Amino acid sequence: MTDDAPPRAHAWSAAFDSDLLTDYVPDALGAADVSRQLALGQPLDDGPLRVGRMPVPLARRTESIPILPCVERARMFLLTEQALTVHAPRSEVFSYRSLTWRYRPAYQARQRHLQALAARSDLPLALVLDVHRFGQSLPLNTLIRAPWMTEHLAGALTALRTAAGRTLLPGHRWSNRLGTAALAPLDDTVAALAPGRWARWGDDLHVFVRDRAEADEIRSAVVVALQQLGLSLSQEKCTVAPAASVLTGPARVIDGRPEEVWRTGLANGDVKALRYGLSRSPPDERVTRTLVAAVRNRPALLPRAVHYLDRAAHTPVGQAATKELLHTVEADAFTAARLLALAARHPELAPEVPAEMLAAADNSGIAPLLELAFRVDVLRGRLRARPPTSRMREWLASGAHPRHQLPQVTTLL
């Protein structure tokens, strides 16, 4: 960092690098240029707001997700962090609290807090509340009216709402930061009724209560608080259950050898265990041989499966599994985003990429995906007449070194 860079520039860069762990389309150049601009405190490149859309398999459904170029992601991130410097969430809020917030330590802190509350004999019940389609339904005006809102962020959110049809975007740190901050009035309501007896992660709220009458009172107050924000509760997700139920839900701790956790997850259909195993397991023959079938059955596992195969690609069984995945999964924008990034990191895989997968990327109209397809095509020895973006023209002019600025496949998705 230069001496004249803003004092928070290093923290901005580190937080943005963390943000990329939940990007649905890995940046073709590893976002190195954008991260460098943030670290140096330099202005981000200007350009038109381009929003693509990509169907993404989630836990319960497939959803069409807006996709932003990396520089737009960084611009929204920066504007959000500048606005939220004056906002301090309550201690019972564990998600996306600050610029320096980190996912796993925060998740573990929430688990410990829930475990401590579940152990209290005077609080036998847990009230579980969830906002209905929070990311899609949060009104723009609710954010605009927030006390920490700035003019520049309000303008950017308005433009994004016009282009993307929604205010908050899945998989973006800035979006989760704004969503967390927007529910502060809800926190005030719950804190007044159940001080120290609650926890919130995103729009998921757990309140530990003495009886059902208290649960009903708190739920009614929450309904009113949400109505004032233009929101409502998800009826199917709101329950009152024994306090100990959190120990098999959000407070459940998974441990053990990752490869054994993976095998147990397969046997029990435990997606949480499968995600844990894929992100932590060293290359393991049994994990690798069962991976392709698991991804076919649960497509949402693909990002973590690619992260695992990146570690296993040097083994014969890992190469075989990767090739099988390339040739058997449905070729669409979601699969192309992960598998083209893997091929860019392992050039020996580039010739194995099916033409249908490259076509899915090219037909997506999503700039980051077009860049990934171009990079893989160069590795295949197929030089296109026209690079899709100025970034790829510069990469090509610099020699297009196959190991230079590799896309990242490490993920928290």
The DSSP bridge pattern shows strands 62-67 and 125-130 to be: unpaired
Domain locations in the chain?
91-131+183-252, 258-397
pLDDT at 230 over 50: yes
Residue with tokens 């083994």: 315
Mean pLDDT within 376-386: 84
pLDDT in tens, 190-228: 999 999 999 999 999 999 999 999 999 999 999 999 999
Residue 389 pLDDT level (bands cut at 50, 70, 90): confident
What is the distance between the alpha carbons of residues 135 and 168, in angstroms, rounded to a whole number? 5
**Res. 276: pLDDT tops 50:** yes
Q: What is the pLDDT of residues 399-409, one digit of tens each?
A: 888 888 999 99
**CB of 353 closer than 8 Å to CB of 386:** no
Please name which of 48, 53, 95, 62 lies closest in space to residue 200, comparing C-alpha atoms: 95
Mean pLDDT of 343-372: 94
Query: CA distances (Å), 400 to each of 37, 154, 409, in order?
Result: 21, 39, 20
Residue 5 banded pLDDT, cuts 50, 70, 90? low
Whether the CB-CB separation of 106 and 98 falls below 8 Å is answered with no
* Token couple for 67: 């996709």
The CATH-assigned architecture of domain 91-131+183-252 is 2-Layer Sandwich (3.30)
Confidence of residue 3 (pLDDT cuts 50, 70, 90): very low
Strand partners, 199: 206
Interaxial angle between packed helices 9-19 and 70-83, expressed in degrees from 0 to 180 and rounded to the nearest 10: 130
Q: How far is CA 285 from CA 233, 317, 339, in A?
A: 45, 7, 20
pTM for the full model? 0.92
Q: Can you tell me the distance from the alpha carbon of 332 to that of 380, in angstroms, rounded to the nearest whole number? A: 20
The first and second tokens of residue 274, run together, are 């499968």
Provide the pLDDT for residue 384: 75
